Structure 1
Amino acid sequence: MAPAEWTGSLPLCMFLLLTCGFTQAGKLLVVPMDGSHWFTMRSVVEKLILRGHEVVVVMPEVSWQLESSLNCTVKTYSASYTLEDLDREFMVFANAQWKGQIRGAFSLLTSSSSSIFDLFFSHCKSLFKDKKLVEYLKETSFDAVFLDPFDACGLIVAKYFSLPSVVFTRGIFCHYLEEGAQCPAPLSYVPRGILGFSDAMTFKERVRNHIAHLEEHLFCHYFFKDVLETASEILQTPVTAYDLYSHTSVWLLRTDFVLDDPRPVMPNMVFIGGINCKQGKPLPKRVSAGVFFLALWGMVVGDKLLVVPQDGSHWLSMRDIVEVLSDRGHDIVVVVPEVNLLLKESKYYTRKIYPVPYDQEEMENRYQSFGNSHFAERSFLTSPQTEYRNNMIVVGMYFINCQSLLQDQDTLNFLKESKFDALFTDPALPCGVILAEYLGLPSVYLFRGFPCSLEHAFSRSPSPVSYIPRCYTRFSDHMTFPQRVANFLVNLLEPYLFYCLFSKYEDIASAVLKRDVHLVTLYQKVSIWLLRYDFVLEYPRPVMPNMVFIGGTNCKKKKDLSQLQEIILIICESTGLIGATPLLPEAGNASRCPLQPQLDKQERLLSPQWKEASQLYKLAAPTTT
C-alpha cells in the first residue's frame, strides 16, 4: 500500500479507480499489449510508478516492445510462438493492408492475414498455464487491473480475480465497446470504425453502415471464438464478449471527441486523446482558464467574459468560479438587475446594472412564498401541478427581469461595444441563452439541472424512460412495470411543462432577434455544459462529450479532525467497528463510527483527552465482544 503521506499518488489513482470504492490503490496489475499499443500505455505506467504506486506488469516472454527495463516488478510467461513467427505473421498482415483495406467483419474473418490475431489471442491461455504466476497474482491482492483490451487477456484476468478494471484503448473492433459500456451508437449517424465514412452519410452509406453492423453481430463471435473458449475454460462457465467488456469500471479512450464522430458516451468513458503528443509550451497565465471555456470554438485568449447569472442559491455556485477566473486575470462583467438578492458588488467583477419594475419587498415576498411552498403536502398525481405553480412564483419575476434587460437598449449597446469573448450563464431560465445568440457569443452553461431533465433533450443525449425516472416521480432506476408506465406518462407531460415555463421567452426572443425563434434550437448552440453533479450519484445514462461533470466544486473544504476525533477513530478501528484508514488526518471516516453520536456530548462534559478516550473505549469494547 502506498504510504498515507504520499499525497501525490492520490489524484491519478482516484481518476483511474473512480468506481472502485477506495481512494488509494497501492497495487496495480498491468496487462499490456505489444507493439505501438505499449508505446502509449508505457508513459502512463511510468507516471504511476513515479507517483509511488506498486506496479506489476505481466507480459509474454516473446515480444517486440515489451521490455523489462521498467522500474517495477515484471512477470513473464512463456509464449506459444517465437519472435520469428511474430515477425512473419505481422509482415503478412501489413502487406495485406496495402493490397486491399478490410471493410467489414466478414472480410476480416476470411482474410488470410488474420493469423497474427491467433498469436495474440493465445496470450491468456499461456498465462493461465503458468500455475506459479497465477498463484502469485492471487496472493498479491491487487487493487485494480490496468489493461489494453486488444487481446482480451486483461479482461479475462480482471474477471478471474474479481478486480475493477481500467481499460486503455483507441477503440475496439466490432460492436463490443458500445455494448460493454451500454452506450448508444445510432447507425444513421455513427459510422462503423473500418468503413471510413463521415457522420454525414448519404443514404447508400447509411445502408452500408447497417449491413456492416449486421456483419459484426453475425461474424465477430467467430473472430473471437478462441478468446471466448479460453475465457470459458479459465472461468469455468460459458462466457460471451459482453460478459468480458461489461466488467470494465473506467474506459480511458485515447481519442479526442472534437476529432471523433459525434456520439453520446457514458460518464465512465473518459477522453484522454493527446496524452502522448509532444509537450507544447505552457500557455500564459491569463489564457489558462480561457482555454477551458473556449476549447470548442477555436480561440484561446478568453480575456473578456460576460456573466449572466441566476439570482439566489444558483449564484452562490457560480460565484466561486467567477472569482477564480478573475484571479487568473480575466476581465469579467456580470449583468444584474438593480433589485436583487445576492448579486452584490465585488472586487472580482464589474456589475452592469439594469432597471426592473419591482421593489425589494416584492422580491423578498416572492422568494419567501416560493420557499414555503416546497414544504406543502403533495401527492403523486398533484406533484407536477404543485411544482409548476410553485415555480411560477419566481419564474414570473425572472421573466420580468429578462424582459427588462432585453428591452434596455443602453445596456444592449454597452454589451455589444464591449466585444466579449464568451458568455457564462446559468441556463435554468433562458435569458442568458437569448443574449448569447443576440451578441453572437459562444456560451458555457453552469447549472444543476432543468425541471424535466431538459439538458438531455437539448444536448440530444438519450434518456430512456424505462430506465431513467423522470423528475418528481421519486422512482429509482430499477422500476417495476407500473412505475415504468407512470414514468412514461410523466414523460409525455414534459413538453407541455416546458411550453408553460418558457413559451413567453420565445416571444421576447423573437422580438429582440427579429425572427421566429425556437428556444430548443438556441439551447442546442451551447459549447460546453458544466453539470454541477456527480455521475456516480446520478442515474446511469449516456451523455454527450461536451457535458462535463463538475460535482463537488462548491463543497466546503474538509477541516482536519480534532485530536479527540482522532482518538475516537483509532478506538473504532482497533475494536473493529470500522475499517482502518491510512488517511487519518483528512478522512471523514469518523462519521461512520458508531461512537460518533457520543462525540459532541463527550467534548462538552469531559476535559482531559485521556479520560475521554477511556470513557469511549469502555463504550466501544462491549460492542465487539
Structure 2
Amino acid sequence: MQLGLLFVLLFFYQRAAPENILIWPAEGSHWINAKSIINELIARGHNVTVAVNSASLFVNYSEPSPVQFEVFQVPFTIVDNDAFFNDLIEFWTNEKPFLSHWGAYRKFSKIMENAKKMRREVCDGLLKNDKLLERLRESAFKVLLSDPACCCGDILALKLGIPFIFSLRFSPGFVAERLCGQLPAPPSYVPTSLSEFSDKMSFPERVQNVFYTFMYQWIVEEIWSYWNSYYSEVLAEGSHWINAKSIINELIARGHNVTVAVNSASLFVNYSEPSPVQFEVFEVPFTIVDNDGLLNDIVEFWTNEKPFLSHWGAYRKFSKIVENANKMMREVCDGVLKNDKLLERLRESAFKVLLSDPAYYCGDILALKLGIPFIFSLRFSPGFVAERLCGQLPAPPSYVPTSLSEFSDKMSFPERVQNVFYTFMYQWIFEEIWSYWNSYYSEVLGEPTTLCETMGKADIWLIRTYWDFEFPRPLLPNFVFVGGLHCRPANPLPQEMEEFVQSSGEHGIVIFSLGSLVRNLTDEKANLLAEALGQIPQKVIWRYAGKKPRTLASNTRLYDWLPQNDLLGHPKTRAFITHGGTNGIYEAIYHGIPMVGIPLFADQPDNLAHMKVKGVAEVLNFATLRAQDLVDALNTVINGTRYKENVMKLSRIHHDQLLTPLERSVYWIEFVMRHGGAKHLRPAAHSLSWYQYHCLDVVALLTACLAAFIFLFTKCCLYCCRTCKCKKVQKNKTQ
C-alpha cells in the first residue's frame, strides 16, 4: 500500500505574516509529503522547525537547509530503525501470504511490540526532555503539523499550549477518523480502508465491510490501550505527587539535594527526564499498564458500580480491589527493602530526613532501616484512623465530623450517632487491612511491631488542608496544616485559549474538569453534560478526553489537558465545575472562584460537603444528574452574590498567613534536619496503652476506691444499726 497525503492546512489562501511552525514528522512517503508542505511554508516566509529523533531514516537533519532541526537523542540507532522497517516489509511481502490468519496475527503482533517500544522511546526522547521543551516554548510556535501515524505529536502540542493539525492518508478501518475525529463512515456504502471494496457493495461485501469495521476498531483499540496510560502519565499527575513536587522544587531552590526512590512502574513520577532531582529506580514485577489498570478499577468501582451495589456487594467488590492493591504495594516494598545494594547506596548518601506519603506504605520502614527521621505528608486517612490511632491526634466524634462522613461540625443527634458509628467502622476496616501488614513490618524490622506503631514514629505530620477548608478541631504540635501548598499566581494562557476566553465578553467563562483519573464518560452522561453546558450564556472550557458528545454546543470547547490554575486565576472565570479533588478546590479558594461540585469517589463527596457548608459551592449527584440540575446550579453560583462573597472570604483567610503553606512545609522539613528529628513535639500518648490513654486504669482504681468506700460505709452503717438495735433490745429487756 502506498500512503499519500490529504493536505488540510488551516491557513488562509492569502499570505499571512511570517510565523513559527513546528513539524512532528513520520518516515518514508509521509516525510515526502511533509517536505512539500514545509517548502511551501518557507516560500511564504514562515519559519519552520522539525523535531526529529537521532535515528530517523528519512529526515536528513545534517544537510544544509532553510529548515531548523531540533534533534533529540533516542536509545536506538538508524540500523535498528532500518531493521524494523525491513522486518515489516518482509512480513507483508514474503511471509503473510503463506501464513494462516492466526499465524499472521501472532507474527504481526511481535513486530508491533517492537514498534511500540521504539515509538515510546521516541516520545520519551522529546516529552521527557525539559530543556528541549523549554526551548520549544521560547520559540513561540503558532501551530504544530503532525502525522498521526507517529504518536505524541498531539501531546507535544498540548504541552506547548498550541493548536495542532493532522496530515494523513487514512488510518486502518478509518478508526482514528471515526472515533477521534467523529467523521461519519456508514459501512452500508463507505468501504472501510484496507477492505479493497468499492462503494457499490453486494450484500456479502457489506457484511464483510461491517466485520472489517469492528475488527480494525478492536485491533486499533488494543494498540491504543498501550498508549492510554502513557498519555495520561505525560498529561496528568497524581494529586499526591503534585504536592510532593511543589515541596521538592522549593527544597532544591533552597540548595538541598533531593533523591526520589521510585519503582519502575510508577504512573506519575517521570524518572527518565533530565531533572535536578536524583532518582533511585528499583524494579517491580508489574508494569505501568498493570498499575494503570488498578487505578482504572478503583475509579470504575467508585463511579459506575458502587452506587448500584448493596453495602455487602460493594464491600466484597472493594475487598478484591484492596487485595490486589496490597499485593502490588508489597511488591513495591520488597523492591526497595529487600534490595541490599540499593539500601547500601542510600545509607552511603547520608540523608538527613525522609518525606513520605502514608497512602503508600513502607516509607516509614525505609527511614528506620536508614536510621533517619521521617515526615508524613497527607490529606487524611478515612475516619482519621491513622491520625487518631498512630499519630494520637484527638478527634472527639461529638463535634469533629469523621472524614468521609460528609457531616459538618454542627451535627444533630442522629448525625452524632452515625459519626460515632463511622468512627468505629473505619477503625475496624483499617485494622483488618493493617493486620495483613503487621507481620511484614515485623519481618523487615526484625522485631515484633505493627504498621500503626511504626507510623506513630513520624516526627511531623504535614496535613494538606487549612482552616479555610477545615472545621475547628484540636491539633497536636507535630501536626501542621499546609493546605494549598501547590497553589500559585496564574500565568498567561496559550494564545488560542486566551482568544476563546476573551470572546466570552461580559458573561465570562466556566471551567469544567473531573480530574486526571476520569478520562471519559458514558455517551449518555457526556451528552447530558454537553446539553446542559450549551444552555448557559458563558463560554465553557471542558477537560475531557473521551468521544465528542453529539450535543456539544458552540460555546463549549474540549481539551485533553488544561492549565487549570491559570484558568481559575483568569479575571473572566465565573465558576468551576469540579469533581471535588482537594487540589482543585484549593486552587478555586486561592483564586476566589465559586464551585459546582459533581463528586465521583473517595474524598470528593466529603470535600464538597465542606464547601457547601461554607457557602461556596452547590453539590450535585452524579448518578441522578439531569441537565437542568447543572444549569440551575451554575446559574445559582454565578448569579448569587453570596457564593462569590463567601469564597472571597475563604481566599482572604488562605492568603493571610505569616508563611505560605509551601514555606511552612519546607520550614518544618528543615527544622527536622537541623535538630535530627522533632521528638520533643510528639505527645507522651505514644508510650501509653489504650487503657492508660483513656485513663481506664485510673477509672478502675477510683471505681474500686469508691466501691470499697461504699462497702465500708455500708458495713459501718449496718454495724451501727445492729449495735443500736442490740442496745435498744437489751434496754427493753432490762426494763
TM-score bracket, normalised by the shorter chain, equals 0.3 to 0.5
Larger fraction in helix: 2
The structure number with the bigger radius of gyration is 2
TM-score normalised by structure 1 residue count: 0.39
